[in-house]
Amino acid sequence: MSDQHTLTQPSDDLKNRDVLTLLDFTSEEVKNLLTLAEQLKQEQQQNISNPLLAGKSLGMIFENASTRTRVSFEVGMTQLGGHALFLSPRDLQIGRGEPIKDTANVLSRYVDGIMIRTNSHDTVEELATHADVPVINALTDLYHPCQALADLLTIKEHKGKLEGLKAVFVGDGNNVAHSLMIASAKVGMDGVIAVPEGYEPDAAVWEEMKKTAAENNTSLELTNAPKEALQNADVVYTDVWASMGFEEEQTKREEAFSGFQVDKSLCSNANSDFIFMHCLPAHRGEEVAEEIIDGTHSVVYDEAENRLHIQKAILASVME
C-alpha cells in the first residue's frame, strides 16, 4: 500500500513561522493545518510512514509538568522521522539565570525548532525574537494554540463541520478559553464564554478576540449566566478552576465557581447531540460531573489523541 500512496506534503505557507498565538494566523492557514493533520492521521492509521522531518531535531523546554504536550510532541517528532530533546529548567542554564536571548541564540545553532511550555507569554515572545528557528508555544498564561487546534480537529471529526456551530466555554476565562474562542472565530464558529464575576478573560486579549470574531462574521459573547449560555450549544467545554500557578486560590475559586459545574442540569439547555470537551487533566466532581466527562457526550480522549496529529501538522509545516 505504501508504494502506491502519495505521501502527504505540507505547503510552504508556514515554513519557518513561529506559532505563538492563533491571532497571527489567517483563517485559511488554520484550516490548512487541520487538513494536514487529518491527512497525517489517516496515514498513521494505515501504517504509512512519512518521514517529513528526517534528520531534524526539536528542543522542548518545559517549565511545567505535562502529559499530553510532552508525549504528543515527542512521539510526533519520532513518527515524522525526527528527534526531540526534553529540556527542563534543571537541564538548561536558563534555570540558573542565563538570559533568554543567550539560550535562544545557542539552541538555534543546535536544533531546527524550539517548543516551549512556560508561565509567562512574554518569555515565549522574547525567545522567538532572538531564535533563528521556529518557536512553538505549547502553553503560556495567555494562549494555548496547539490545544485549540486539536479541539477544532476533534469538533470537525464529530460534527462533520465547523462553520455555524456554537461553542460554549464554562469556567475560568483563562488561556484555554482565549485560544478556543480565537480558533472558533477563525473557522466560522460562534462562541460564548460563561465565567463568574472577576474571572473574565484578560482584557487586552478579550479585545483581540472580539476583533477576530468581527473580522470573521461570527458572534462572541461574555456572560456570568452559564445556564443561558448553553442554550443551543453544539460544544460544551470546561477546564480546571484553578490552573497552574493559581493552586493557592483553590478554596476561594471553589466558592466563586459555585453553579458553574458542567453537569446534566447545566447541559439540559444544550443541543441533544452536544459534545463535551476538556483539555485535561480534569477534576471530576469539581468543574465537571462524572456523568458528563465519562458519559456518552464526552470526546475528551479523542481530543487528547488529536494533540498528536495537530502537533505533527504544526511541526511539519514550520520545520519541514
List residues with catalytic annotation: 117, 144, 147, 239, 279, 307
Residue 132 near residue 202, CB atoms below 8 Å: no
Sheet holding 190-194, edge to edge: 220-223, 190-194, 166-170, 235-238, 275-278
Report whether 251 belongs to an annotated binding site.
no
Q: What Å distances lie between residue 73 and 128, 223, 311, CA to CA?
A: 18, 35, 6
Report whether 250 belongs to an annotated binding site.
no
Report whether 17 belongs to an annotated binding site.
no
Report whether 238 belongs to an annotated binding site.
no
Q: Give the 3-state secondary structure of 174-189.
A: CHHHHHHHHHHHHCCC
Report whether 99 belongs to an annotated binding site.
no
Report whether 267 belongs to an annotated binding site.
no
Report whether 181 belongs to an annotated binding site.
no
Report whether 57 belongs to an annotated binding site.
no
Report whether 175 belongs to an annotated binding site.
yes
Report whether 123 belongs to an annotated binding site.
no
Report whether 93 belongs to an annotated binding site.
yes
Which long-range contacts (C-beta less than 8 Å, at least 24 apart) are formed by 207-216? 208/23, 208/182, 209/178, 209/181, 209/182, 209/185, 212/23, 212/182, 212/185, 212/186, 213/181, 213/185, 215/185, 216/27, 216/185, 216/186, 216/188
Report whether 279 belongs to an annotated binding site.
yes
Report whether 67 belongs to an annotated binding site.
yes
Contacts of 69 (CB under 8 A, 6+ apart): 62, 117, 138, 139, 146, 307
Q: Is 156 helix (H, G, I), strand (E, B) or coil?
A: helix
Residue 168 near residue 233, CB atoms below 8 Å: yes
- Known binding-site residue numbers: 66-69, 93, 117, 144-147, 175, 239, 243-244, 279-280, 307
- Known binding-site residue numbers for carbamoyl phosphate: 66-69, 93, 117, 144-147, 279-280, 307
- Known binding-site residue numbers for L-ornithine: 175, 239, 243-244
